[in-house]
Amino acid sequence: MSAIEGGAIGGGLDARSSVLRLEGTERTYPGSPPVRAVRGIDLAVSAGDYLSLMGRSGSGKSTLMNVMGLLDRPTAGRVLFAGADTVRLPDRHLAAVRGHGIGFVFQSFNLLPHRTAAENVALGLGYQGVPWRMREPMAVAALEAVGLGHRATALPGKLSGGERQRVAIARAVAGKPRLLLCDEPTGNLDGVSAEMILGLLDELNTTGLAVIVVTHDHAAAARARRHLLMSDGVVTEAVLADTQRGSQAPVAPQAAGALGE
Ligand code: ADP
Ligand code: MG
């Protein structure tokens, strides 16, 4: 708590600093038998990292994303955000760390249908504690940054799927988070729109934003520079097979299959 209040979230750390660190992180759902959805994960994510997360349905991807997004607490191990241990933070502080530090993008956009694009983005800024006077100009700037400045007053129903996802991305990054978590961001989009969204994620990543994308799409996963594979709650980091290299790249067996190499 004191580390966060002391400013570890806001700055003072260099650009390559640790954004997220999992240490022996687990999440078990109670029951008989209990479900060990996430098991003993060690992972460090730095500013500017770009990770894909693949794995079968039920392998634990959503559970892991919820833990990484500080939406759920681990049942064992540690989760550090910007160097600060979050596990024992009271809910209120955890929500503040999440609001300032992490943006979320979902497959189904999750926009409020009766609010304009700008209002959707501004509402997101409200949750991040941005004073209301600043919300509208920041929302419009975020929409301009995703090429939708001219659609700021449109309702989501009047926008294409790709445009809706751009609004959702504007909402996710308007408050300048350090980590962007995307759950199947192109799952509902046609190829052209998907390409545009992936281009946008690339662009955001080059500004230093750490990006983690859950996807079933090999082309989307290939945009990332680090590739995580999840199976039965366990994460393996795979290095894509490099046929040009003489030495054998350390590809996990299930990793090779899931990435189609
Ligand atoms: P994925 O996103 O890869 O499909 P999930 O994280 O949703 O995987 O689920 C991982 C495992 O945890 C599955 O066996 C699932 O049935 C179980 N699970 C998910 N949520 C709950 C819950 N709230 N209570 C009990 N078990 C759950
Ligand atoms: Mg899931």
Is position 224 within any domain?
Answer: yes
Give the residue-averaged pLDDT of 168-181. Answer: 96
Lowest mean pLDDT among 43-47, 70-74, 127-131: 127-131
Give the residue-averaged pLDDT of 168-182. Answer: 96
Burial class (CB in 10 A: 0-12, 13-18, 19+), 207: exposed
Residue nearest to ligand 1 atom 27, measured at CA: 29
Looking at the CA of residue 66, tell me the nearest atom of ligand 1. 6
* pLDDT tops 60 at residue 23: yes
Distance from the CA of 60 to the center of ligand 1, in angstroms? Answer: 6
Is position 30 within any domain?
Answer: no
Per the prediction, the chain carries an average pLDDT of 88
Tokens of 21: 């660190």
Is position 88 within any domain?
Answer: no
Number of domains in the chain: 1
- Distance, in Å, from the CA atom of 248 to the CA atom of 261, rounded to the nearest integer, reads 13
The more confidently predicted of residues 42 and 3 is: 42
Is position 33 within any domain?
Answer: no
Res. 128 pLDDT band, cuts 50 70 90: confident
Is position 119 within any domain?
Answer: yes
Dihedral angle over CA of 25, 177, 59, 54, nearest 10: -120
Mutate to test the pocket of ligand 1, among 35, 64, 181, 183 (most ligand atoms within 8 A of CB): 35
Looking at the CA of residue 55, tell me the nearest atom of ligand 1. 3
Predicted TM-score (pTM) of this structure: 0.86
Is position 34 within any domain?
Answer: no
User: H/E element holding 119?
Assistant: helix 117-127
Is position 9 within any domain?
Answer: no
Distance from the CA of 103 to the center of ligand 2, in angstroms? Answer: 18
Residue nearest to ligand 1 atom 14, measured at CA: 58
Residue 32 Cβ inside 6 Å of ligand 1? The answer reads no
CATH (domain of 117)? 3.40.50.300
Residue 61 Cβ inside 6 Å of ligand 1? The answer reads yes
Distance from the CA of 30 to the center of ligand 1, in angstroms? Answer: 11
Using alpha carbons, select from 179, 153, 185, 190 the residue that is nearest to residue 166.
185
- Distance, in Å, from the CA atom of 153 to the CA atom of 261, rounded to the nearest integer, reads 45
Distance from the CA of 2 to the center of ligand 1, in angstroms? Answer: 33
Give the residue-averaged pLDDT of 39-46. Answer: 97
Distance from the CA of 153 to the center of ligand 2, in angstroms? Answer: 32
Looking at the CA of residue 64, tell me the nearest atom of ligand 1. 6
Residue 27 Cβ inside 6 Å of ligand 1? The answer reads no
Please answer whether residues 107 and 187 qualify as being in contact, where contact means their C-beta atoms are separated by less than 8 angstroms: yes
Mutate to test the pocket of ligand 1, among 27, 29, 228 (most ligand atoms within 8 A of CB): 29
For residue 140, the enclosing domain spans 47-71+99-253
Distance from the CA of 63 to the center of ligand 1, in angstroms? Answer: 6
Is position 28 within any domain?
Answer: no
Give the residue-averaged pLDDT of 81-90. Answer: 93
- Distance, in Å, from the CA atom of 211 to the CA atom of 202, rounded to the nearest integer, reads 9
